[in-house]
Amino acid sequence: MRTFFSEDHRLHFPQAELTGGQFVTPYERPSRVEYVLNRLKEQGLADIVAPDAPDMAPVKKLLDPGFLRFLETAWDEWKAAGMKGEVIAAGMPARGMHPDRCPEYIDGKVGYYCHASETAITGGTWRAALSSLASAQSAQAQVAAGAQAAFALCRPPGHHATADQYGGYCFINNAAVVAQMFRDDGAGKVAVLDIDFHHGNGTQNIFYDRADVLFASLHGDPRHAYPYYLGYADERGTGAGEGANLNYPMLPGTPYGPWAEALDDAIAKIRAAGVEALVVSLGVDAFKDDPISFFKLESADFADAGRRIAGLGLPTVFCMEGGYAIEAVGINTVNVLEGFLGA
Amino acid sequence: MRTFFSEDHRLHFPQAELTGGQFVTPYERPSRVEYVLNRLKEQGLADIVAPDAPDMAPVKKLLDPGFLRFLETAWDEWKAAGMKGEVIAAGMPARGMHPDRCPEYIDGKVGYYCHASETAITGGTWRAALSSLASAQSAQAQVAAGAQAAFALCRPPGHHATADQYGGYCFINNAAVVAQMFRDDGAGKVAVLDIDFHHGNGTQNIFYDRADVLFASLHGDPRHAYPYYLGYADERGTGAGEGANLNYPMLPGTPYGPWAEALDDAIAKIRAAGVEALVVSLGVDAFKDDPISFFKLESADFADAGRRIAGLGLPTVFCMEGGYAIEAVGINTVNVLEGFLGA
Ligand SMILES: [Zn+2]
Ligand SMILES: [Zn+2]
């Protein structure tokens, strides 16, 4: 399996993440992918290549062009307004406010296009997000050209980003773009399977009213886990998309047994839906030692999960999402891939 | 005119305000009211008394009881969860998320009950907010008992707080509580006139569907000024409240001329509505040197505004709101009161 990876991810490394009422060094940091790269090489998965340039055409069709322009210009506009720190949202269009009027002043714009203030934008964020997108797109192209699977070692991750909001360390929803590209390439139906610990609110949001992209997410119950305000089991899609959104929220302390049951259920429904291509939002923060999550998966469980996913027999793009137990991120991520390959 | 004031405001003084991507010492700080107190005394308005204990009965009827419990317990719950800093919201129920499901974990709860992350909750915030409320309630009681006017030197301020959200330095909407108490005391119709630089989104929100409380706000255009996502001129109320919400958004650089025209228009509409009691949300951040605002009022203009408001001839409670040009806050605030008294 080929890995697509860009060194430009390093351009995004904010000084600050807002958590617990303080600024800390972001959990989502460059060293995460170093561990994945090293583990890939150790395990003989050394086919690691740089992606082609990103193709913005499918992105602009799927996501809000105003949001993309915002991401590209936010840092310059913020600095031009005299802001001293990194770009961090303060107010947002909260309950009872206009969801559809974007202010002109950059401070208001930032809040409009953001859904969580832990995530800062820096001078290099846009280029890093583009390089992450590029890896996802190149992985999709390789699979569309006939490879069984490819791994996009994306950083920053993408699954929390909606069509017009960043947050949760995510800026461009790589997995959603890949799913749309499979559709554009002729797949009748595509599934996004999100095994990151956190609900893939961005991906759900983007495809919520569509029947042609099935979304399934295993994640911490939103009553207890970020993103808190989405990810309930009764969110099943709307309109044509009714029934094409599958959420498996699980409680603190959930071990692999029930997690794997949820995975099997999602896999069965993806199989039954007649899906022709699969995108896996591959986060490994379901790991027992993850510092910001509460599931109890062991490292070996990730290999088992990979085997189960391979059972679908679908052309598959893995997009890297979260995982913050830094040294274990490599082992757990590569375990999923090896489980998939060895199945 | 009697001033009601509690020293307990000092219990609220967060270390941190999130602004421009950094933590700064909050603009909304205890010294603000010291300047007002000193100026009151200098000008012979030395009738300054401590309020009675707050009466929670009317507050619980007007505001969300779950929100009030949250404000009371947030600090302890936050600390019990191991958070190191002050209570600061990161994520919020943003566009596309559930507006009506409050998470169980404190980090999610904080975001649910917040609409702007600049505002921190500390161990003393609840008691300070109650003392601010108490000043407002005691001022109302004095006017209800026959005084022409009273001044509640509230801190923290209140007009950005909705029935179930804090933010914008505000926790309990003092002005809204006073308006409701006038209604409960028999006033057929009450008006809240908000001359703070910022839109009184909380007050608007609380009374938006009611005809019995007219709300009028002069403020920075939300395209350019906090709270950004509310305060447009086309927000005119809903249902029975249709037409009872009057917003006067104004552009950066607005001087007293057009500001006073908006004030006169609001006053004319309050007069025409047959209002029997008036609450003034008295912020003085429309001042030309305010560090976080963009109108151009001179100190003398505040006295003129007070004179115009007095022209209504209504029983009036002034509730202190914003104003951050610290040394001028006293002069400008007392100018409004003196203009009112001398009219
Ligand atoms: Zn995650
Ligand atoms: Zn203000």
- Condensed to tens digits (0 to 9), the pLDDT of residues B108-119 reads 999 999 999 999
Residues of chain B with pLDDT > 70, as a percent, come to: 100
Compute the average pLDDT of residues B311-335: 97
Give the pLDDT confidence of A32-71 residue by residue, as tens digits: 999 999 999 999 999 999 999 999 999 999 999 999 999 9
Chain mean pLDDT for chain A:
98
Interface of A with B in 79-138 (CB under 8 A): 82-99, 101, 103-105, 107-108, 111-112, 114-118, 120
Question: HSE-up of A304 (CA within 13 Å, CB side)?
Answer: 12
Whether residues A94 and B115 touch (CB distance < 8 A) is answered with yes
B81: closest chain A residue by CA: A20
Q: pLDDT-based confidence at A335, cuts 50/70/90?
A: very high
Give the pLDDT confidence of A172-228 residue by residue, as tens digits: 999 999 999 999 999 999 999 999 999 999 999 999 999 999 999 999 999 999 999
Chain mean pLDDT for chain B:
98
Edge-first strand listing for the sheet containing A316-320: A48-49, A2-4, A149-152, A316-320, A277-282, A190-194, A213-220, A245-250
From the CA of A86, how many Å to the nearest CA of chain B? 5
Angstrom distance (rounded) from CA A325 to CA A285: 7
Compute the average pLDDT of residues A1-10: 98
Angstrom distance (rounded) from CA A314 to CA B238: 52
A83: closest chain B residue by CA: B20
Q: Which residue has the tokens 């302390």?
A: A253
Please tell me the predicted confidence (pLDDT) of residue A338: 98
Angstrom distance (rounded) from CA A223 to CA A68: 31
Whether A160 is catalytic is yes
pLDDT for A343 beyond 80: no
Q: Are B16 and A23 in contact (CB under 8 A)?
A: no
Interface of B with A in 190-249 (CB under 8 A): 201, 205, 222-230, 232
Tell whether B22 is within 8 A of chain A (Cβ): yes
Q: pLDDT-based confidence at B340, cuts 50/70/90?
A: very high
Please tell me the predicted confidence (pLDDT) of residue B196: 98
Please tell me the predicted confidence (pLDDT) of residue A254: 98
User: Which segments of B81-200 does DSSP mark as H helices, in order?
Assistant: 106-112, 125-144, 174-184
Q: pLDDT-based confidence at A156, cuts 50/70/90?
A: very high
Domains in chain A: ranges and CATH:
2-15+26-52+123-342 (3.40.800.20)
Q: Are A218 and A309 in contact (CB under 8 A)?
A: no
* Neighbouring residues of B329: CB distance < 8 A, sequence distance ≥ 6: B32, B35, B36, B284, B323
Please tell me the predicted confidence (pLDDT) of residue A10: 97
Q: Which of A9, A12, A115, A160 is catalytic?
A: A160
Q: Which of A95, A107, A167 sits opposite B99 (nearest CB)?
A: A95
Angstrom distance (rounded) from CA B175 to CA B169: 14
From the CA of A110, how many Å to the nearest CA of chain B? 11
Neighbours of B82 (CB within 10 A): 8
Angstrom distance (rounded) from CA A334 to CA A38: 10
Interface with B, mutate which of A105, A122, A228 (most B CBs under 10 A) = A228
Angstrom distance (rounded) from CA A32 to CA B218: 50
Distinct helix (H) and strand (E) counts, chain A: 10, 10
Please tell me the predicted confidence (pLDDT) of residue B12: 98
pLDDT for B343 beyond 90: no
Closest CA to B230 of A96, A66, A164: A96
Whether residues A108 and B83 touch (CB distance < 8 A) is answered with no
Asked whether the CA dihedral B98, B104, B108, B110 is positive or negative, the reply is positive
* Residues of B designated catalytic: 160
Q: Which of A82, A117, A168 sits opposite B117 (nearest CB)?
A: A117
Q: pLDDT-based confidence at B254, cuts 50/70/90?
A: very high
A59: left (phi over 0), alpha (psi -120 to 50) or beta: alpha
Angstrom distance (rounded) from CA A192 to CA A317: 10
Q: Which of A83, A94, A118 sits opposite B165 (nearest CB)?
A: A94
B18: enclosing H helix or E strand: strand B17-19
**pTM across the whole model:** 0.97
Compute the average pLDDT of residues A243-259: 98
Please tell me the predicted confidence (pLDDT) of residue A112: 98
A201: enclosing H helix or E strand: helix A201-207
Strands B277-282 and B213-220: unpaired
Q: What angle do CA A12, A225, A325 make, to 5 degrees?
A: 50
Give the pLDDT confidence of B154-184 residue by residue, as tens digits: 999 999 999 999 999 999 999 999 999 999 9
Angstrom distance (rounded) from CA B213 to CA A19: 39
Q: pLDDT-based confidence at A269, cuts 50/70/90?
A: very high
Whether residues B105 and A227 touch (CB distance < 8 A) is answered with no
Cα A132 to middle of ligand 1, angstroms: 16
Tell whether B251 is within 8 A of chain A (Cβ): no
Interface with B, mutate which of A18, A22, A92 (most B CBs under 10 A) = A92
Tell whether B26 is within 8 A of chain A (Cβ): no
A134: enclosing H helix or E strand: helix A125-144
Angle at which helix A299-310 crosses helix A256-272, to 10 degrees, equals: 10
Residues of A with Cβ-Cβ distance to B162 under 8 angstroms:
96
Compute the average pLDDT of residues A300-316: 98
Please tell me the predicted confidence (pLDDT) of residue A58: 96
From the CA of B91, how many Å to the nearest CA of chain A? 4
Cα A322 to middle of ligand 1, angstroms: 4
Q: pLDDT-based confidence at B63, cuts 50/70/90?
A: very high
Whether residues B21 and A86 touch (CB distance < 8 A) is answered with yes
Nearest ligand to residue B200 Cα: 2
Q: How far is CA B72 from the centre of its chain?
A: 19
Please tell me the predicted confidence (pLDDT) of residue A237: 98
Please tell me the predicted confidence (pLDDT) of residue B55: 98
From the CA of A81, how many Å to the nearest CA of chain B? 9
Please tell me the predicted confidence (pLDDT) of residue A216: 98
Neighbours of B296 (CB within 10 A): 18
Q: Which residue has the tokens 């206009």?
A: A98
Residues of B with Cβ-Cβ distance to A224 under 8 angstroms:
103-105, 108
Angstrom distance (rounded) from CA B204 to CA B176: 9
Whether residues B91 and A117 touch (CB distance < 8 A) is answered with yes
Q: Are B202 and B170 in contact (CB under 8 A)?
A: yes
Nearest ligand to residue A290 Cα: 1
pLDDT for A257 beyond 90: yes
Angstrom distance (rounded) from CA B28 to CA B321: 10
Q: pLDDT-based confidence at B197, cuts 50/70/90?
A: very high
The two tokens of residue B214 are 């007219």
Q: Which residue has the tokens 């007293």?
A: B256
B224: closest chain A residue by CA: A105
Compute the average pLDDT of residues A246-266: 98
Q: Which residue has the tokens 């997000």?
A: A129
